[in-house]
Amino acid sequence: MPKVFLLTLLGCAAAAAQTGDAEKLAPYYPTPETIVEKMLQLGGLKAGEKVYDLGSGDGRIVIMAAQKFHADAVGVELDKDLWKLSTDKIRKLHLEKNARIVNGDLLKQNYSSADLITVYLLPGFIDKVQPMLDEQLKKGARVVAHDFEFKNWTPEKVENIADDGEGRSHTLYLYRK
């Protein structure tokens, strides 16, 4: 799907949506599993490292990080139904020891222990995340952004995937503090 179209679609769906006090920074639009793996590989995720997915949807990034990369994975998800769905998936897979989902606003968490952060949020909204990460992330922490970049940061690496197998192209950005 062309990115311009996707952006319009996502923008319309997210427009001014609020949940309680929290602002919805993107609608639910999952990253394909093949791209999830590329994001975690690009982020150099190692066993035992702490990874946070900001706006974790159905938990697929958290689950792959725990199951395949043996990381200590945390998702933050505002939507109660997605939180429940992902938490149930984690329980069924017996991954509770190193995977969990926080039901809350991603702008109100503390990421100072993170080795890796993953994000798939809309431009404009992603700008709200940047000052918080600038303040909280430890030196050497990595951030991988899917499709929409952090305007004020310079990526260490950009990976373009022309076709994910379903005709969709993706761009991944790696940043390091």
Ligand X SMILES: C[S@@+](CC[C@H](N)C(=O)[O-])C[C@H]1O[C@@H](n2cnc3c(N)ncnc32)[C@H](O)[C@@H]1O
Of 53, 73, 100, 143, which one interacts with ligand X (CB under 6 A)?
Answer: 53
> Is residue 101 close enough to count as binding ligand X by CB under 6 A?
no
Among 11, 30, 123, 155, binds ligand X (CB under 6 A): 30
Least distance (Å) between residue 125 CB and ligand X: 7
The dihedral sign for the CA sequence 82, 27, 95, 105: negative
CB 103 within 8 A of CB 80: yes
Does 172 interact with ligand X (rule: CB under 6 A)? no
User: Which region, judged by CB under 6 A, interacts with ligand X, from 21-29, 40-48, 84-92, 134-142?
Assistant: 21-29
H helix intervals, 15-139: 33-42, 60-67, 80-92, 126-136
Pick the closer one to ligand X by CB: 121 or 141: 121
* Among the residue ranges 50-58, 65-73, 89-97, 157-165, the one whose residues contact ligand X (CB under 6 A): 50-58
Tokens of 173: 């950005």
Nearer to ligand X (CB atom), residue 25 or residue 51:
25
Binding of ligand X at residue 23 (CB under 6 A)? yes
- Residue 29 contacts ligand X per CB under 6 A: yes
In the numeric block, the tokens 């066993």 are attached to 47
Q: Which residue has the tokens 């791209």?
A: 35
Binding of residue 77 to ligand X (CB under 6 A): yes
Q: Which long-range contacts (CB under 8 A, 24 or more apart) does 162-169 make?
A: 164/32, 164/34, 164/35, 165/32, 165/34, 166/32, 167/1, 168/1, 168/32, 169/3
